Each structure stands twice: as C-alpha cells, then as structure tokens.
C-alpha cells in the first residue's frame, strides 16, 4: 500500500487487513492488492476473482483492477472455440456464477460485522474475568492470612488466660 507511514511507503506485510477498502486505495504491486482483497473477502465470507483490469498504455502497469465475488454475474454460454479448420465444442464448465447480488453481500457484511463485534465482546469479557479471578485469588489469600492472625490471637489469649 502506498500510504505513507513515518515518511515511508508501507510494505505488503504492514497492510492492515482489518481496514475497510476505500476508493483510491493504492498498493505496491498487483500481488499486494490481490492478497489484501483475498484476505478481506475471506474475512467477510466469500471468495474473489479478478474482473476488469486496465493497464497504462505506456508502462503496462495496472491503473485499475476490479475484484469481484466469484459468484457475481453469469457465465456467457459459449461452448464453441474457433479452430482454423472447424468449430470445436468444449465440455461445459460447472456453473459457479449465480448472479451474486448486493443483498447477499450486504447480508454477509452485516453478519461479519456482527460476528466481529461478538468476538470483541468475548475478548473484553475474558479480560474482565481474568481481573476478577486475580481479585478473588488475592481475596482468598487475604482471607487465609486473616484467619491465621485470628488463630494466633486466640492462641495468645488462651495462653494468657492459663
């Protein structure tokens, strides 16, 4: 990602995959972009595929590239390929694109967000539980110490009465 961090460009291992993608996001390479969006998609519960890719006419570098849900759209039903001699019929591929819609993506996003919040709440509860357990442990230790002191005082009082 080409955002600056302390005056330098961020490398591929420094990209925070928990950051939501935004328009204008830049990456150090095609591989970095693919890794980011692949991780992002997995976090949201789907798989990506590469859609349109636009390259610079001069350098051949990628100007923009679309990553899509692998189920977005519908496959063109073209099972014939051109051969110099005749038309060849290809074996039809399994249907994988089923017109993934915004509704499905929205639901996945909502459920992923809900799961993320639940995980954060669980982590917070675990931290609070650790604190409480340490407090209870400390309180038990103090209780045992107080009991020993009370026993010692009773022994001293009993010796004094004899």
pLDDT digit string, tens, across residues 124-145: 999 999 999 999 998 888 888 8
Reported pTM: 0.41
Give dist(CA 114, CA 108) in Å, integer.
10
Task: Identify which of 50, 75, 49, 46 has the alpha carbon closest to the alpha carbon of residue 64.
Answer: 50
Buried b (16+ CB within 10 A) or exposed e, 95-133: eebeebeeebeeebeeeeeeeeeeeeeeeeeeeeeeeee
15-48 pLDDT per residue, tens: 666 778 887 788 888 888 888 888 888 888 888 8
Give dist(CA 73, CA 66) in Å, integer.
13
Mean pLDDT of 138-162: 87
Residues contacting residue 1 through CB under 8 Å, at least 6 positions apart: 9, 10, 12, 14, 15, 25, 26, 27, 28, 32, 36
């Amino acid at each position: 990602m080409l955002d600056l961090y302390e005056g330098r460009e961020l490398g591929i291992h420094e990209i925070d995959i928990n950051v939501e993608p935004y328009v204008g996001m830049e990456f150090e390479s095609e591989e970095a972009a693919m890794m980011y969006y692949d991780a992002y998609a997995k976090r949201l519960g789907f798989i990506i595929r590469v859609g349109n890719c636009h390259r610079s006419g001069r350098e051949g570098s990628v100007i923009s590239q679309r990553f899509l849900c692998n189920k977005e759209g519908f496959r063109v039903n073209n099972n014939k390929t051109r051969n110099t001699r005749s038309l060849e019929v290809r074996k039809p591929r399994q249907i994988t694109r089923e017109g993934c819609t915004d509704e499905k993506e929205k639901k996945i996003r909502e459920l992923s967000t809900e799961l993320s919040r639940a995980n954060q709440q669980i982590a917070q509860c675990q931290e609070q539980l650790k604190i409480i357990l340490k407090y209870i442990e400390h309180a038990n230790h103090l209780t045992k110490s107080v009991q020993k002191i009370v026993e010692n005082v009773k022994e001293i009082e009993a010796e004094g009465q004899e």
